[in-house]
Amino acid sequence: MAISIAIIRRKFNPFGGAEQFILRTIQGLSTKKINMTIVAESWSQQSKGLDQNNCEFIKASASGTSRYAKFNSFSESVHQILKSNKFDLVQSHERISGVDIYRLGDGIHASWVKRYAAECSWLRKIWLKLDPYHRAVIRAEKAMAADDNLTFVANSTLVQSEIKKWYQVPDHRVVLIENGIDTEDFQSTPTSKRKENKANLGFNPDLPVVVFIGSGFARKGAWELVNAVSKLPNFQLLVIGHDKKLAALQKHVNALKANQRIQVLGPKHDIKKYLASADIFCLPSSYDSLPNAALEALCCGLPIIITDAVGLADKVREAKAGVICEKEAGSIALAIEHCWESLSTYSKNARQLSKKYDISIANQKWLDLYNRLIEAKRVNKIANSSH
């Protein structure tokens, strides 16, 4: 008998980590007897993975003009959908109460607010405290932490420790399932081919290329990275990702007179093409639970430069698969130079580390979790009916 699972994600962004995770899970479990239903405000029908026979889509509305109003409206819409449909399990990627599983792909919002407040202007600090949206999200996190029937799935040890620290969630309600990736789908690129790819992008084929892939430039350190590379005349940079200030970052590159060495390309679907043109991956985020782009880079044998606020930091440090830096231009520049000096060693270790994130490992953990929770619900139902 097939298991029916509802997966909640408010908006599908084809470049987002959570969406990539959902699609990979659907594909990886397509041979199992599992029927997936995506509950979302918007979802790309063309997305790879959604045309599987075991996946359906239900639209949840979100009305209002403010983030706060839309947040509440979407939650109410989802609750109505869950009342009208019967699912064996409900897995949310949004902060919504009354679900069975909440995957902490975006980390802990309260932790993000604290980190962001430490680096933003005093005016922004005041707004963070007053903004009803942030207060509503943290309120939702607290309510979910208090729900004994809800299981949290952390995608990194960083997030696993933070859910316990911030909300004192007991160990038995927190499961660690790190992101999975098809490690054979991403491969190292021979030096000659990499040089050819650089030339095709208009770069100097004889100079190293650093690649940044991520949406949300301020949080993920794109500005600091641009400033770092602008001071390294023998390095080039590719910035790929979606951001409202894309044009502003390009203008900043122009002001630095670094157009020949730094390209700001915006969001791209064919990420492999750009990874195959790069020598080093850099994502100096102020907070990032476990970026899929970093895993893809590891599979390609690219050393990665990240901060301690990225969920992969401990593993990278332990495996010597890259360098840990501060979210500051000088620190990033030193990390890039250090990476380049020991490129072959870091590259070999990066590829080796990537194998620990093979999609088959993650899929089996998800399947085990689904079966365990469904069995627990069955036992509870029997126990309640006997009283």
| pLDDT at residue number 14 | 56
Query: Superfamily for 191-357?
Result: Glycogen Phosphorylase B; (3.40.50.2000)
| pLDDT at residue number 224 | 98
Please say whether the dihedral angle defined by the alpha carbons of residues 354, 360, 363 and 365, taken in this order, is positive or negative: negative
Decide if 336 contacts 235 (C-beta within 8 A): yes
pLDDT surpasses 70 at 28: no
Q: What are phi and psi of 381, to 5 degrees?
A: -65, -40
| pLDDT at residue number 48 | 47
- Domain 3-180+358-385 shares a fold with domain 191-357: yes
> pTM for this one?
0.88
Mean pLDDT of the 50-63 span: 76
Mean pLDDT highest for which of 129-133, 180-184, 381-385? Answer: 129-133
Amino acid at 74: F
pLDDT surpasses 50 at 71: yes
| pLDDT at residue number 36 | 84
Strand partners, 280: 210
In the chain, domain spans: 3-180+358-385, 191-357
pLDDT surpasses 80 at 265: yes
| pLDDT at residue number 46 | 47
CA distance 306 to 328: 11
Mean pLDDT of the 226-244 span: 96
DSSP, collapsed to helix, strand or coil, labels residue 8 as strand
Q: What does the pLDDT look like over 117-175, one tens digit per residue?
A: 988 889 989 998 899 999 999 999 999 999 999 999 999 999 999 999 999 999 999 99
pLDDT surpasses 80 at 30: no
| Pairs from 53-62 (Cβ < 8 Å, separation ≥ 24) | 54/2, 54/26, 54/29, 54/30, 55/26, 58/6, 58/85, 60/8, 60/10, 62/10
Please say whether the dihedral angle defined by the alpha carbons of residues 309, 312, 317 and 323, taken in this order, is positive or negative: negative
| pLDDT at residue number 350 | 98
pLDDT surpasses 70 at 13: no
Tell me yes or no: is domain 3-180+358-385 CATH 3.40.50.2000. Answer: yes
Kindly report the length of the chain: 387
| Pairs from 247-255 (Cβ < 8 Å, separation ≥ 24) | 249/217, 249/222, 249/223, 252/223, 252/226, 253/226
CA 18 to chain centre: 6
Burial category of 172 from C-beta neighbours within 10 Å (exposed 0-12, middle 13-18, buried 19 and up): exposed
